[in-house]
């Protein structure tokens, strides 16, 4: 027991010694940090700054190892050890952050610079794409001419080469499109000339056809006049013949109408007698059906009454009331809750 206590005490003493050593290292680092100044944009100073941050991170790693060792000595003192470690780490982190922030800012500036230059390269490539007319090609050449590549630093050579390639492609494309457009314009002119000739021929043909049509129409008009005269004479003769036939037909029709009226009167009287007999038979049939329906209704009422009596006999009055309210006593019974 004494040996264990002695061992624990020794370990605690060693742990305290480690913490003291770390505190001294941090104090020295803090004092040394206050004397350091770096030009983070300068390669040598940037390397020195990174080396200094790395040494501070090593101190920070020693704190973590010391924390684990101290917690292993005595778990009950772990929380106090953690707080001490956090405080020490925060101190070291406070030394790290100004340097790391400056390094990160320089890295971000560098990436932004590279992105700007690459955006120019991408724009040079895009300018030579998607062109369909010579005017558009010339506009793209003018736009390409405004792009300055000398200020792209390490990308300047690639940008200049890409710009030269794009100019060459656009120049060749401009020539090709101009030639194609000229060919299309010439073809359109030929088509317009042919269309004009066709139109002139069509107008002349229409003029000749109109003259011929007028001649035919005059001949046809004379022929129609003669035909109409002959038709009028034929219609007059036909009219006189029809009038004579119509007078004879009306006389025969009058005789037939009188006979038909007499026969119709007889049929009407016979039909009236038949309808009266049929109505009497239908009325008797309806009365018989009504009596039969009334008998069936009364039988259903008696059956329904017997069913309700049988159902209610097996239940208390409260159960009957609950069943009626729930609509389960009989399918024919339900409550109109709007009236309740």
Spatial contact of 144 and 186, defined as CB atoms under 8 Å apart? no
Model pLDDT for residues 111-128, shown as the tens digit of each residue? 888 888 888 778 878 777
pLDDT on residue 73: 66
Name the strand (E) or helix (H) holding 33: helix 2-35
| 8 pLDDT above the threshold of 60 | no
pLDDT interval class at 99 (50, 70, 90)? confident
pLDDT, average across residues 81-94 = 82
Chain centre distance of CA 112: 36
Model pLDDT for residues 132-150, shown as the tens digit of each residue? 787 887 887 788 777 787 7
Here the tokens at position 315 are 């239940």
Cα dist from 287 to 276, 281, 283, 284, 294, whole Å: 17, 10, 6, 5, 10
The region that residue 130 occupies, defined by phi over 0 for left and psi between -120 and 50 for alpha, beta otherwise, is left
Which residue did the predictor score with more confidence, 312 or 16? 312
Distance CA 121, CA 163 (A): 8
| 294 pLDDT above the threshold of 70 | yes
| 152 pLDDT above the threshold of 80 | no
pLDDT on residue 75: 64
pTM of the model: 0.37
Query: Which among 74, 73, 98, 70 is positioned nearest to 85, based on CA atoms?
Result: 70
| 274 pLDDT above the threshold of 60 | yes
Chain centre distance of CA 318: 61
Mean pLDDT over all residues of the chain? 79
Distance CA 181, CA 134 (A): 8
3-state secondary structure 83-100: HHHHHHHHHHHHHHHHHH
Please tell me the least confidently modeled range out of 11-20, 38-47, 62-71, 251-260: 11-20
Model pLDDT for residues 63-86, shown as the tens digit of each residue? 888 888 777 766 666 677 778 888
Query: Which among 125, 143, 230, 135 is positioned nearest to 178, based on CA atoms?
Result: 135
pLDDT interval class at 12 (50, 70, 90)? low
Task: Give the number of other CB atoms < 10 A from CB of residue 160.
Answer: 14
pLDDT interval class at 3 (50, 70, 90)? very low
Query: Which among 139, 67, 127, 59 is positioned nearest to 94, based on CA atoms?
Result: 59
Handedness of CA 306, 307, 310, 311 (dihedral sign): negative
pLDDT on residue 2: 36
Model pLDDT for residues 186-232, shown as the tens digit of each residue? 888 888 888 888 888 888 888 888 888 888 888 888 888 888 888 88
Here the tokens at position 229 are 């005269």
Spatial contact of 158 and 125, defined as CB atoms under 8 Å apart? no
């Amino acid at each position: 027991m004494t040996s264990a206590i002695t061992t624990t005490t020794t370990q605690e003493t060693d742990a305290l010694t480690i913490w003291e050593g770390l505190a001294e290292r941090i104090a020295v680092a803090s004092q040394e940090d206050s004397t350091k100044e770096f030009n983070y944009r300068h390669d040598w100073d940037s390397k020195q700054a990174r080396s200094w941050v790395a040494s501070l991170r090593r101190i920070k790693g020693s704190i973590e190892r010391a924390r684990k060792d101290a917690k292993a000595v005595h778990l009950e003192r772990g929380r106090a050890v953690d707080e001490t470690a956090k405080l020490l780490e925060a101190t070291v982190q406070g030394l790290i952050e100004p340097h790391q922030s400056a390094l990160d800012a320089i890295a971000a500036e560098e990436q932004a610079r590279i992105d700007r230059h690459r955006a120019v390269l991408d724009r040079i490539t895009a300018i030579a794409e998607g062109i369909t007319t010579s005017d558009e090609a010339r506009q793209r050449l003018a736009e390409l001419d405004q792009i300055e590549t000398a200020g792209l630093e390490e990308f300047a050579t690639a940008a200049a080469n890409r710009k030269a390639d794009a100019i060459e492609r656009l120049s060749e494309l401009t020539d090709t499109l101009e030639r194609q457009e000229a060919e299309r314009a010439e073809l359109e002119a030929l088509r317009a000339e042919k269309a004009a000739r066709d139109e002139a021929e069509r107008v002349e043909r229409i003029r000749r056809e109109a003259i011929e049509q007028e001649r035919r129409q005059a001949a046809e008009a004379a022929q129609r006049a003669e035909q109409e005269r002959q038709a009028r004479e034929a219609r007059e003769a036909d009219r006189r013949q029809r009038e004579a036939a119509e007078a004879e037909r009306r006389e025969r029709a009058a005789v037939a109408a009188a006979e038909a009226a007499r026969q119709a009167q007889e049929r009407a009287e016979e039909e009236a007698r038949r309808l009266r007999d049929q109505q009497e038979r239908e009325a008797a049939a309806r009365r018989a059906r009504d009596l039969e329906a009334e008998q069936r209704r009364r039988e259903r009422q008696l059956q329904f009454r017997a069913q309700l009596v049988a159902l209610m006999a097996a239940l208390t009055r409260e159960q009957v009331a609950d069943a009626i309210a729930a609509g389960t006593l009989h399918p024919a019974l339900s409550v109109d809750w709007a009236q309740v």
